[in-house]
Amino acid sequence: MRLFVALDLPADVRETLALMRGSMPGVQWVPAENHHITLRFIGEITDRHRLEEIDLALSRLAWQPFELSLAQADIREGLTADSLLIGVERTRQLDALQSQVESALRRAGCPPAKRRFQPAITLGHFFPNQRADAIKWVQRHNLFRSKPMSVEHVTVFESMRSLGEHVYVPREEYAWQPEMPLIPEEE
């Protein structure tokens, strides 16, 4: 199983993002049902014991719901293709939750994250020869700002290939637990 931990998006936010895709030729647009905010990529897990450790560690997350907003369009360079993104406004609560997820996964035996946390939603992928069109797309959507959305759970998704496309299937959801003592935030 190829797994990652993410914040799932409400249906209305997915619809809004899907409307932003437009008609830029040659872009491989990400299906709206795959839009999410990755907190931590886990990778390939085949050991049932490791899956149980991950589940136990994530079930012990201690946090309170918070709100976050999406803002601005951007481009992220990749090795073979670049990506069109919508940014996520960084908050202390988002960073603290991501840090807890990282710590929980390390306790469960996962290696440290390979990339620094950069919250964003990938809307599409394009090749470098389409950069001029991509810059125009970013300029059209650079003032985008979503209404605040409530973060009340994190989700473990499995990434699968189906007919040549990635399909992200939610496997487990971890809601905030008011009875759990909050872990003090690191300063």
Active site residues: 36
Give, in order, the Cα–Cα distances in Å from 84 to each of 128, 137, 151, 159, 176.
12, 9, 23, 20, 31
Cβ 84 vs Cβ 122: under 8 Å: yes
Tokens 């601005």 map to which residue?
72
Cβ neighbours for 25, distance < 8 A, ≥ 6 positions apart: 130, 133
What are the backbone angles phi and psi of residue 119, rounded to the nearest 5°?
A: -65, 125
